Chains A and B, each alone.
Chain A
Amino acid sequence: MDRVQRDALQRDLARLADGDRDAFHPVFVCLWPLLRGFVGRYLPPEDAEDAAQEALVKVFARAGLFDPTRDALSWSLGIAAYEIKTARRRRQRRREDGEPPVGTPDAAAGPEALAIARQRTDAIEAVLTSIDPADAATLRAYASGAPPPVSGATFRKRVQRALARLRVAWRISHGRS
C-alpha cells in the first residue's frame, strides 16, 4: 500500500467514523484485499478467507469508534491480527477436541475435484505440445518415474531446463506461473 492509498484510507475512515456513509464503499474497496492478503499470510487457506471476512466485519462494526488521530491502517491491521489469533486458537481447540480440520478433502474426490484435475491435466498437455518435443519427452519420463535413458545428473539437469521452459510457456499461455 503506497502513501497516497494510506492517506486516502485515513481520510475515508475518519469520514466513516463521523457518520458519512459515502465513505463506506471506498473503505471497503481499500480494506478488503488488504485484510485478505494480510490474514492469508498468517493462516492456512481454509481458515484465511473466513478470518479475513470476520476481521473486515469487525473493522466496520468498530468504525464508529475510530479515533481519527490514530493511524487507520495500523488500527485495521490490529483488528485483523486479533482475528488471526482467534482463528489460530479455534484451530488449536479443534485439534485438541479431535475434530477433523476444516477443509480436509474426502478420500474419494468429488465430481468438482475430478473436473478441476481433468482441466489441469488438459492445460499441462496443451502447454507440453507447445514446447520442444525433447523437453516434453524428458518431463513425461520424469512424471512417469521411468528410469532415465541418460545418467542421473544429466537427466536432472535436463528436467530442470525443461521445467524452466515449461514455466515460460505456461506463463505465456495462462498469464501466471
Chain B
Amino acid sequence: MAAPEAVLLGRARRAYEVGRLRASLPTVALVAPMVGLSILLCGRYAASACSGVALAAVLAAAAWRGQQFARGARAGLVAGLGPLLLPLALCLHLCAGGVCLLAPSICVAGGLLGGVAVGVRARGRADGSSAGYLAVALSVTALTGCMGCLIAGVSGVLGMAAGMAAGAAPALWWWTTGSPPAARS
C-alpha cells in the first residue's frame, strides 16, 4: 500500500540510519582477529575481551555517525596497529618464556608510534571538526594498542598511554593553540 510522503520520509530516514549501522559492520569485524591475537598471545581473556568490546562499540558509533568521526576511526585503526603489533611481535622474538623486562619499553615505543601517527594524520585539521576527529582517533588507537600491550600487563598499558600522549602532544598543542609548537617557540 502506498504511504503518504511524511511516512515515506520517516521510512527513508530509518532505512538510512540502519543502512549506515550495517555499513559499519565490516570495520567492526576487524576487531575479531585483534581480540583473537591478543587472547592468544597475552593470555588475559577478560581484559582483551573488554578492550575488544569497547573498540567495537567506538568503531560502530563512529562509522555510523560518519564525517570526521569515521575518518578519525580509520586513522585510529591504522595508528593503533603500531602499539598492537610491535609489543606482540618483539616480545615473541626477544622474550620467549619467562618475565620480559623489555615489554613495557616496547609498549611505550608502540604508543609513541601510534601517537605520532595520529598527530601526523591530524595535521592541518585545526578547525571545528578536529576535536571529534582527534578524540575518536586517539580512543581507537588507545583501545587497539591496549590489546597488544596487555602482554606486559598494566605497566605495558600505562606505558603505551604515556607514549601515545607524548606522540600526540604536538597535534593536541596545534589543535588547542591553532599553530604548530615550533611557531610558538
Contact = CB atoms under 8 A, between A and B. Distances in A.
Interface of B: 1-3, 5, 8-9, 11-13, 15-16, 18-20, 22-23, 64-67, 69-70
B65 A60 contact: no
Contacts of A60: 12-13, 15-16, 19
Q: Which 10 A-B pairs have the closest CB atoms?
A: A19-B66, A61-B19, A49-B2, A61-B15, A64-B20, A64-B23, A60-B16, A60-B12, A19-B67, A57-B15
Contact of B16 (A18, A24, A53): A24
8 contacts: A18-B70, A19-B64, A24-B16, A28-B12, A53-B8, A61-B15, A61-B16, A62-B19
A136 interface: no
Interface of A: 16, 18-20, 24, 28, 32, 49-50, 53, 56-58, 60-65
B13 A53 contact: no
B18 A61 contact: yes
A60 B1 CA distance: 19
Contacts of A16: 16
Contacts of B16: 16, 24, 60-61, 63-64
A52 to B, nearest CB: 9
Given A28-B9, A28-B12, A60-B13, A18 B66 contact: yes
A59 to B, nearest CB: 8
Contacts of B66: 18-20, 64
B67 A20 contact: yes
Nearest to A62: B19
Given A19-B65, A19-B66, A64-B20, A58 B15 contact: yes
B17 to A, nearest CB: 9
A38 B15 CA distance: 21
Nearest to A48: B2
A24 B11 CA distance: 12
Contacts of B65: 19
Contacts of A24: 12-13, 16
